């Protein structure tokens, strides 16, 4: 069975500093990996996804993520955060034709001035 672990429940970062959110997954087949962002009271917005190919994936809003098969990880990064990046971030895993996405519990990011 697939599972996703986001080890950090809450991260506080200064505006302009770099951000890295961790995600580890367990999946029997070749995984599809996703990062979603949820702003307060809003739905989930897809930041980026990895299906195959280049293991460094670029997404929207200046985010990128790197797939490391040997570590079963798909960490999300941003070089310089903006106050508007304060939100909850979810990592999810699926597979081709697998509609049951499995989500991690989320990491809440707080941005301080």
Partner 1 sequence: NAGVMQNPRHLVRRRGQEARLRCSPMKGHSHVYWYRQLPEEGLKFMVYLQKENIIDESGMPKERFSAEFPKEGPSILRIQQVVRGDSAAYFCASSPQGAEETQYFGPGTRLLVL
Task: Name the residues that contact partner 1, by CB under 8 A.
Answer: 4, 32, 36, 41-46, 49, 90, 92, 94-106
User: Residue 21 or 92: which CB sits closer to partner 1?
Assistant: 92
Considering the complex, what minimum distance in angstroms separates the CB of residue 74 from partner 1?
15
Q: Are strands 3-5 and 24-26 parallel, antiparallel or unpaired?
A: antiparallel
User: Residue 28 or 97: which CB sits closer to partner 1?
Assistant: 97
**Secondary structure string (H, E, C) spanning the chain:** CCEEECCCCEEEEECCCCEEECCEEECCCCCEEEEEEECCCCCEEEEEEECCCCCEEECHHHCEEEEEHHHCEEEEEECCCCHHHCEEEEEEEEECCEEEEEECCCEEEEEEC
User: Residue 17 or 96: which CB sits closer to partner 1?
Assistant: 96
User: Residue 2 or 15: which CB sits closer to partner 1?
Assistant: 2
Considering the complex, what minimum distance in angstroms separates the CB of residue 83 from partner 1?
22
Considering the complex, what minimum distance in angstroms separates the CB of residue 42 from partner 1?
6
Considering the complex, what minimum distance in angstroms separates the CB of residue 16 from partner 1?
29
């Amino acid at each position: 069975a697939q599972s996703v672990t986001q080890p950090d429940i809450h991260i506080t970062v200064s505006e302009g500093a770099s951000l890295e959110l961790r995600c580890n997954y367990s999946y029997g087949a070749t995984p599809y990996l996703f990062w979603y962002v949820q702003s307060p009271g809003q739905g989930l917005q897809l930041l980026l996804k990895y299906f195959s190919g280049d293991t460094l994936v670029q997404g929207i809003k200046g985010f990128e993520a790197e797939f490391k098969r040997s570590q079963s990880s798909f960490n999300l990064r941003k070089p310089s955060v903006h106050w508007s990046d304060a939100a909850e971030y979810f990592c999810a895993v699926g597979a081709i034709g697998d509609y049951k996405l499995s989500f991690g519990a989320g990491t809440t990011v707080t941005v301080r001035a």
